[in-house]
Amino acid sequence: MLASMRTALLLSLALHGTIYTAALPIFHDVQTVLSEGRRDTKVLILGGGVAGVTAARTLHEQGIDDFIIIEARHELGGRMMSHAFGAAGKHWTVEVGANWVQGTQTGDGPANPIWELAKKHNVSLRSSHDFMSVETYDDSGAFDFQDVFRQSIENFRSLTATAGARVPNQLVDMSARSGYALSGARPSSRYEMASEYYQFDWEFGATPEETSWLASSWAHNHTFKTFSPENLLSVDERGFKALIQAEADEFLSEGQVRLNATVSAIFTSRKGVVVMLSDGTTVSADHALCTFSLGVLQHDDVRFIPPLPIWKQEAIHSMAMGTYTKVFMQFPEKFWFDTEVHLSNAIFSTRILHELTRTALQMALYADHERGRYPVWQTLDHPDIFPGCGILFTTVTGTFSQRIESMTDAAVQAEILSVLRSMFPNASIPEPLDFYFQRWYSDPLFRGSYSNWPANFLSEHQGNLRANVDKRLWFAGEATSKKWFGKLSVSTFQKMVNKLNR
């Protein structure tokens, strides 16, 4: 106890010291504490999202149960985050974070482990097979630009195919914008830009300018070619997070999780790791696994003492964090999108065509004069989702997300209502009953939605982003996955487990 208080005091000094040299002697003191052998646990898992929980499961399966998950929020799940939305008596569970199982399984090929978890825990999913079928609008109302939209699907296909042809030269990466141009797509009208946005920004949470051509193509293929082209939407009342919370309930015992515990500093030495929480208490361990989002690492929300090595900092600041914001509105009555699909929209296989003829549309695309201004609209008031819920939402990304995060809810709502009134000039649109969006970029626990691979991010940076420091401080989480960055994924943590078992 005494040692623990002393460490806390020393760490506070280290944190408040303005120059790092002041922290150096303290660092040696913590090393002394560590070399005295005081350990609260063997492994500290920092963050209780999908990565933290699957790391804990891996350790448990390896017979290592001496670990503690430290999570700032009141529950596990991280960016699998649901929200009880709607007016009194009209509440529905909406997903402000992850919502789709992206790719399932083709034949007996590789299965998406997230899909396996969803099946195991009976998460209620709906097919979004009409993903590539939208109702189109501009600021004068419904406006048919289906031909431009169909061309954008072809342009994206061509972008990923031509990237594949460049694989032998993979050292020469370029932005997806260059890739589009080289494969012949040069959008100039607002209809072309809105259509391209739907294929690209709406998936990556960033623009083609900001994104690697090769990595975006690989990422797309690893999900939709390796597994399957399917996108399954969670409509589970427990929230999509039930998938990972139910999994955690199977093997975690009470002492293995600390909720409402925010990490403010991480002290690493060759002997071990000491973590300081925002209430000033410390926890020590042989190892720590940091699963905080890339955005958290980029914004210095957590102090690393000593500072992370330069190669690590370079990796952290070379990868990018995108933002993806869903703005939810509930209205007394549905006034949007046709309920019947136009057959002319159906362009795929006869199987899908058959399904489309009996499926109401879930999506609409709005072409504003400004690229990225409230372009994608989705209804949850749909026979397959939550019929009668009155909920509609629009998605914005990147700098537009940052822009609306800095505005008041009332200002964002007014702007969105004016867009809706231009899309539906003949409808009388009332004030919404409820309005909500998650401010991912400003949130110190996330600082964005998911990572995005820019053209200047090299494979070596990727390796360094995952690499450990002093074989004591390990890194995991969405951004560290080479194949599934930006997505839900699970990892085997083999290197860390090998080290622990030695």
Ligand X SMILES: Cc1cc2nc3c(=O)[nH]c(=O)nc-3n(C[C@H](O)[C@H](O)[C@H](O)COP(=O)(O)OP(=O)(O)OC[C@H]3O[C@@H](n4cnc5c(N)ncnc54)[C@H](O)[C@@H]3O)c2cc1C
Q: How far is the CB of 493 from ligand NAG (least distance, A)?
A: 26
Contact between 401 and ligand X per CB under 6 A: no
Residue nearest to ligand NAG (CB): 164
Pick between residue 291 and residue 379 the one whose CB is nearest to ligand X. 291
Q: How far is the CB of 162 from ligand NAG (least distance, A)?
A: 8
Interaction mask 259-288, ligand X, x per CB under 6 A? ---xx-------------------------
Question: Quick one: what does residue 73 bind among ligand X, ligand NAG, none, with the CB cut-off 5 to 8 Å set by partner type?
Answer: ligand X
Interaction mask 456-495, ligand NAG, x per CB under 6 A? ----------------------------------------
Question: Quick one: what does residue 265 bind among ligand NAG, ligand X, none, with the CB cut-off 5 to 8 Å set by partner type?
Answer: none
Cβ atoms of residues 160 and 217 within 8 Å:
yes
Strand extents, DSSP E, 269-410: 273-277, 282-290, 303-305, 320-322, 324-330, 363-367, 376-379, 391-397
Helix or strand (DSSP H, E) at 467? none
> 377 — phi, psi (to 5°)?
-125, 140
| 446: nearest Cα among 61, 42, 172, 96 | 96
Q: Residue 296 is encoded by which pair of tokens?
A: 């958290």
Interaction mask 58-77, ligand X, x per CB under 6 A? ------------xxxx----
Cβ atoms of residues 366 and 375 within 8 Å:
yes
Number of residues that bind ligand NAG (CB under 6 A): 17
- Out of 11, 49, 320, 454, the only residue in the binding site for ligand X (CB under 6 A) is 49
Taking the C-alpha atoms of 64, 69, 75 and 80 in order, what is their torsion angle to the nearest 10 degrees?
-80
| 126: nearest Cα among 338, 360, 327, 326 | 360
> Rule CB under 6 A: which of 81-110 touch ligand X?
97-100, 102
Pick between residue 142 and residue 353 the one whose CB is nearest to ligand NAG. 142
> 296 — phi, psi (to 5°)?
-60, -45
- Out of 56, 194, 257, 302, the only residue in the binding site for ligand X (CB under 6 A) is 302
Pick between residue 30 and residue 219 the one whose CB is nearest to ligand NAG. 219
Q: How far is the CB of 195 from ligand X (least distance, A)?
A: 21
Query: Strands 41-46 and 282-290: what pairing?
Result: parallel
- Out of 84, 161, 411, 414, the only residue in the binding site for ligand NAG (CB under 6 A) is 161
Interaction mask 171-210, ligand X, x per CB under 6 A? ----------------------------------------
Q: Residue 499 is encoded by which pair of tokens?
A: 């080290």
| 204: nearest Cα among 240, 175, 181, 173 | 175
Q: Which residues have CB under 8 Å from 180's CB, separation 6+?
A: 155, 159, 186, 187, 196, 208
Cβ atoms of residues 290 and 474 within 8 Å:
yes
Contact between 52 and ligand X per CB under 6 A: yes
Q: How far is the CB of 23 from ligand NAG (least distance, A)?
A: 30
Contact between 235 and ligand X per CB under 6 A: no
Question: Quick one: what does residue 478 bind among ligand X, ligand NAG, none, with the CB cut-off 5 to 8 Å set by partner type?
Answer: ligand X
Distances, alpha carbon 390 to alpha carbons 86, 381, 434, 443, in Å? 9, 5, 10, 28
- Out of 82, 128, 160, 291, the only residue in the binding site for ligand NAG (CB under 6 A) is 160
Pick between residue 218 and residue 227 the one whose CB is nearest to ligand NAG. 218
> Rule CB under 6 A: which of 259-278 touch ligand NAG?
259-260
Helix or strand (DSSP H, E) at 14? helix 2-16
Contact between 172 and ligand NAG per CB under 6 A: no
Cβ atoms of residues 78 and 50 within 8 Å:
yes
> 37 — phi, psi (to 5°)?
90, 5
Burial string for 310-347 (b: 16+ CB within 10 Å, else e) reads eebeebbebbbbbbbbbbbbbbeebbbbeeebeeebbe
Q: Residue 33 is encoded by which pair of tokens?
A: 């504490």
Query: Strands 231-234 and 125-127: what pairing?
Result: antiparallel
* Stretch binding ligand NAG (CB under 6 A), from 189-197, 214-222, 265-273, 433-441: 214-222
- Out of 7, 14, 34, 78, the only residue in the binding site for ligand X (CB under 6 A) is 78
Contact between 122 and ligand NAG per CB under 6 A: yes
Contact between 450 and ligand X per CB under 6 A: yes
Q: How far is the CB of 445 from ligand NAG (least distance, A)?
A: 13
Q: Residue 63 is encoded by which pair of tokens?
A: 């017979």
Pick between residue 349 and residue 494 the one whose CB is nearest to ligand NAG. 349
- Residues in contact with ligand NAG by the rule CB under 6 A: 74, 122, 124, 141-142, 160-161, 163-164, 217-218, 221, 225, 259-260, 425-426
- Residues in contact with ligand X by the rule CB under 6 A: 47-52, 70-73, 78-80, 97-100, 102, 262-263, 291-293, 296, 301-302, 324, 440, 445-446, 449-450, 477-478, 487-488
